[in-house]
Structure formats: C-alpha cells, structure tokens
C-alpha cells in the first residue's frame, strides 16, 4: 500500500509538472512571437499580444476555482464522471466568455505578424478553437478509457481467453484512440492559423491551457481516490466502503488519462508556437524537407520518443524485479508477516523505488536534453528543425496511444 501511495503521488506530480512546463513554454513562445507583432496602436505600448496570454492563463486559475462550485454529488447514485465533467466544462465556458471582453479591451482592431494581417475578433476565435479542442480531447479520452464504454468492454470481453488477447485488445484500443485526437488537433491548428496566423495557433494553446488548474485538480482526483481505497482496505473497513472507493478509483483512472491527453494536446499546439519562434530566431525562412539532412533529422526525431519510452519501460521492469526480490526476501527471512505478527521492512521497498526512479531516468533525460543541442551545433538549424518536427509528431502519437491504452487496461481490470 505504501508503494501504491507513492506511485499515485508520482503520477499526480508528473502531470502537474508536465502541465506547468507546457504552460511556461507556451507563454515563452508567445512572448517571442508577440515581439514580432505590429500592435503599436494599443494602450500597452505594443505589449498587448504578449500580455494577453498571461492574463488569460492567470484568470483561468480563478475560472477553474469557480468551476469547482459546479461539481456536486446529490446522492450515491449520482454519476461522478458527469459531475467532474460539469465542473470542467463550466470553467471552459466561463473562460471563453471572459476572453472576448479581455481581447476586445487589450488588442487593437488590426494586427500583423510576418505579413499576415488579422483582427482582434479573430484572436478571440482562435482562443475559442483552443477551448473547443481541449473539450473534444477530454470527451474522446473519456470514451476510450471509461468503464461501461465500448473500448473498455472489448478489452474485458477478450480478457476471458487469456493474457495474450487482453494485451492485443488494449494495444488496439490505444492505437485507435489516436485517430480522432489527431484529426481534432490538425483541424484546430488549421482553424487557428486561418483566424490569426502563427499567433492564432499560439493563442489557441494559451486558451486551452487557461483551464490547466481544473485539469490538474481532476487529474489529482485519481491518486487521491486510489490511496483512499488502499487505506480502506488496510483498515479493514466494511465492504461497501471499498466498493465506493473502487468506483471513485475507476473514475480517477479516466480523469488521469484525460489530464494526460489534455497535456499532450496543449504540448502539440505549444510546440508549433515554439517551432515558429525557433524559425524566426534562427533566421531561416523555411525548413526544406527535400534536403537529405533535414529528412534524416526528421527520422531521427521520430525515433527519440520510442527510445525514451523503451528506456522508461525498461526502468520500470528493473525496479519491479528488484521490488519483488526484496519482498520475497522478507517473506523468507522475517517469519510472521502473513500472520500480522511481524512488521515488514517498508523503508527498503520505498528506497528501491526511489533509487530506481532517479538512477534509471538519467539516461532518457540526458537523451532528451543533449540530442537537440548536439544536432543543432553540428548540423545547423535546418536539421534541428527537422529533428524537432519528428519528435513532435511521434511524441504526440506515442503519448496519446500509451495514455489511453493504460487507462483502458486499468479500468478493464476492475470489471
């Protein structure tokens, strides 16, 4: 139970860190693009395109808090997932309405970026695009990971014939779950670009990230419910208590996947804004995919998410083996554990998990940090651009696949 609690905490911290990082990078990309926008006629000394996303994201925290007021459960038969969705959608609607007045107040009537002219109302439309993309991503993720839905039911049905068909069904669900999110992301990118060019894509990401506080709160719900169930079981509380915590945990698995999907979608839009900022700073007009070095960089970039994922999975396997061996050792050498007459050495299991998580993640982290630097210095900005494009496409697909497959498997085992 101690290890389960630590695992749940790590999941919550991971998504929180990812959400904060994506938001920070998005604002940084907007700051770079905002400097290139011609907005001298505004009341902020030409800084309104830079200040706008900061204000929207800041007020989004308040709107997320207001959204929690709509999360109510009247009785035990109430649908927990529906209540959480109502709070999420409420914060999104409030953000959308407030964004109109903020945009009309801050931005001048016309703006231009790299020869692309657009109006302030088009910036508002781009923000709405980001909010709509985030909402659809949440709905799609819920469908593929929630109990009672067709994807999870298909995994349950195929699990009756053994482990192999369970794995096949889960992989299939995860792969199919990438179709709609990618189409939605592609449509969102095209629509936001149509409204306000590259700044529209970046501000759409800012609009999506405005409700990050609500997304993180919903995501944290999962680990809290999971740990509550562990406490109920270890405390030998009545079966109906454990049944309630199991239901909450099942919803928590879906919300955890939803939070990850939201972070992935935000990262995809943010990466395009950063990509545009990179092209401007590097002083290159375009990245020509017909050039062999650029194409090579594209393939190498597409490989990195797979290597990163493989090393992470390998690290989990090694840590799990060490954990199992330690547990077996304690059963052999400490008599009376199963009879509750002796106390297990919990701290040794915790130490194994902590050391493994730090030691085994050094190599994947180093690859992610060092590869772009090395490629940029040796091969130049164009090849680096190809590398970043490959990383973005493969990383988004891999992230959606793994997140939804894991959430579907997690809920399938509860049925």
Comparison of pLDDT for 354 and 173, the residue scoring more: 173
Rounded to whole angstroms, the Cα distance separating 97 from 204 reads 15
Assess contact for 116 and 198: CB atoms under 8 A.
Answer: yes
Q: Would you state the pLDDT for residue 31? A: 52
Which pLDDT band, with edges at 50, 70 and 90, does 271 fall under?
confident
- If you average pLDDT over each of 11-15, 28-32, 75-79, 147-151, which comes out highest? 147-151
Distance of alpha carbon 164 from alpha carbon 87, whole angstroms: 39
Give the integer Cα–Cα distance in Å for 361 and 114: 41
Confidence of residue 303 (pLDDT cuts 50, 70, 90): very high
> What is the mean pLDDT of the segment spanning 246-252?
78
Q: What is the dihedral of CA 201, 264, 100, 108, to 10 degrees?
A: -30
Tokens at 378, concatenated: 């040796």
Interval 47-64: pLDDT, tens: 777 788 888 888 888 998
- Is pLDDT larger for residue 260 or for residue 400? 400
pLDDT (tens digit, 9 = 90+) per residue, 362-380? 888 889 889 999 999 999 8
Cα torsion 53, 59, 61, 64: sign: negative
Question: Taking 70 as the threshold, does the pLDDT of residue 222 lie above it?
Answer: yes
With a cut of 80, say whether residue 39 has pLDDT above it. no
Annotated domain spans of the chain: 2-412
């Amino acid at each position: 139970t101690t290890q389960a609690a630590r695992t749940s905490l790590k999941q919550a911290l991971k998504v929180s860190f990812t959400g904060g990082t994506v938001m920070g990078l998005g604002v940084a990309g907007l700051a770079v693009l905002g400097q290139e926008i011609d907005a001298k006629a505004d009341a902020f000394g030409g800084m309104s395109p830079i200040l706008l996303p900061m204000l929207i994201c800041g007020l989004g925290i308040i709107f997320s808090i207001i959204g929690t007021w709509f999360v109510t459960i009247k009785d035990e038969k109430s649908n927990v997932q529906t209540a959480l969705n109502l709070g999420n959608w409420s914060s999104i609607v409030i953000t959308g309405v407030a964004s109109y007045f903020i945009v009309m107040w801050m931005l001048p009537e016309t703006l231009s970026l790299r020869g692309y002219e657009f109006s302030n109302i088009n910036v508002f439309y781009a923000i709405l695009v980001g909010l709509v993309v985030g909402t659809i991503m949440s709905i799609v993720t819920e469908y593929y990971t929630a109990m009672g839905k067709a994807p999870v039911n298909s995994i349950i049905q195929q699990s009756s014939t053994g482990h192999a068909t369970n794995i096949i069904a889960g992989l299939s669900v995860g792969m199919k779950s990438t179709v709609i999110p990618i189409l939605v992301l592609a449509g969102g990118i095209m629509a936001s670009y149509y409204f306000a060019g590259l700044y529209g894509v970046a501000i759409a990401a800012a609009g999506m990230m405005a409700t990050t506080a609500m997304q993180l709160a919903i995501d944290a719900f999962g680990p809290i419910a999971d740990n509550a169930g562990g406490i109920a079981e270890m405390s030998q509380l009545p079966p109906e208590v454990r049944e309630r915590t199991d239901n909450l945990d099942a919803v928590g698995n879906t919300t955890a996947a939803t939070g990850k999907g939201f972070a992935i979608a935000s990262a995809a839009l943010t990466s395009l804004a950063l990509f545009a900022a990179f092209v401007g700073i590097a002083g290159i007009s375009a990245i020509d995919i017909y050039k062999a070095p650029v194409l090579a960089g594209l393939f190498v970039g597409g490989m990195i998410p797979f290597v990163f994922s493989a090393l992470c999975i390998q690290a989990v396997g090694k840590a799990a083996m060490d954990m199992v061996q330690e547990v077996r050792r304690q059963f052999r050498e400490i008599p009376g554990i199963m009879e509750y007459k002796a106390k297990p050495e919990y701290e040794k299991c915790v130490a194994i998990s902590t050391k493994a998580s730090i030691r085994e993640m050094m190599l994947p982290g180093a690859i992610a940090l060092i590869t772009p630097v090395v490629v940029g210095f040796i091969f130049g900005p164009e090849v680096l651009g190809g590398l970043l494009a490959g990383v973005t496409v493969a990383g988004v697909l891999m992230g959606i696949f793994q997140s939804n497959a894991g959430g579907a498997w997690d809920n399938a085992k509860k049925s």
